[in-house]
């Protein structure tokens, strides 16, 4: 049991390391520049995904909010029942689908295109339906998930999140985001306590 636990954690760490060596940094930089534009022009970043990809989308959205890039998760179920009304011209729509062929995710495309959003696909398959319909495609592929069948999204999910952590923290530095600004929105928990001990004021 202990050896298997170690194998899974090592496999997931390996996926992140390999991604850092193989990912297209030009695409990452382009997304970072788009996020800077979003922040400067009071637009927003909308994320969507199903299942585990949806959990990754929620995590990424929260991180963007933490660094003052307005963002929210728009669930596939709500999106086709009027939720896409929140999407407006100039916004950015990030659609996460490991296969790139998830129908619930493809449902966003027609409205997003007509409304004038920038569509970013995050997928393992750049030639998928999603990849071909996006303005920008960020390809993140893993050789194998670490479960015994090699199909349960886990390492790939961590890779998606890691890539957007890198983008968010790069934007944070480029835009000059300060601890004082951070404290204004994060007074709670241990982080808020740390900032208070450093003399941050609201």
Place of tokens 């990912």: 23
Domains and CATH numbers, the chain: 2-197 (3.40.50.10490)
C-alpha angle 128-132-16 in degrees, rounded to nearest 5: 60
The predicted structure's pLDDT at residue 173: 95
* Nearest one of 2, 14, 4, 3 to 148, comparing CA atoms: 4
How far apart are the C-alpha atoms of 58 and 75, rounded to whole Å? 10
Q: Phi and psi of 136, rounded to 5°?
A: -135, 135
The predicted structure's pLDDT at residue 184: 82
From first to last of the 202 residues of the chain, give the pLDDT tens digit.
Answer: 999 999 999 999 999 999 999 999 999 999 999 999 999 999 999 999 999 999 999 999 999 999 999 999 999 999 999 999 999 999 999 999 999 999 999 999 999 999 999 999 999 999 999 999 999 999 999 989 999 999 999 999 999 999 999 999 999 999 999 888 888 879 899 988 888 888 766 5
156, burial (CB in 10 Å: exposed 0-12, middle 13-18, buried 19+): buried
How far apart are the C-alpha atoms of 75 and 54, rounded to whole Å? 8
The structure's pTM equals 0.93
The predicted structure's pLDDT at residue 181: 86
Q: Which helix H or strand E contains 46, and what residues bound it?
A: strand 45-49
The predicted structure's pLDDT at residue 201: 63
């Amino acid at each position: 049991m202990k050896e298997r636990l170690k194998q899974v954690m090592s496999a997931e760490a390996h996926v992140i390391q390999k991604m850092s060596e193989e990912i297209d940094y030009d695409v990452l930089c382009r997304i970072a520049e788009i996020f800077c534009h979003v922040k400067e022009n009071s637009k927003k970043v909308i994320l969507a995904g199903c299942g585990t990809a949806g959990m990754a989308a929620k995590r990424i959205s929260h991180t963007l909010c933490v660094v003052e890039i307005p963002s929210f998760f728009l669930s596939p179920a709500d999106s086709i029942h009027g939720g896409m009304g929140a999407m407006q011209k100039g916004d950015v729509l990030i659609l996460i689908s490991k296969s790139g062929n998830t129908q619930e995710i493809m449902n966003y495309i027609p409205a997003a295109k007509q409304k004038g959003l920038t569509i970013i696909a995050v997928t393992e398959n750049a030639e998928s339906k999603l990849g071909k319909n996006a303005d920008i495609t960020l390809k993140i592929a893993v050789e194998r998930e670490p479960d015994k069948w090699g199909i349960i999204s886990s390492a790939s999910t961590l890779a998606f999140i890691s890539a957007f952590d890198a983008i968010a923290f790069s934007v944070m530095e480029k835009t000059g985001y300060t601890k004082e600004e951070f404290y204004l929105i994060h007074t709670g928990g241990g982080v808020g306590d740390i900032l208070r001990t450093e003399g941050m004021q609201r």
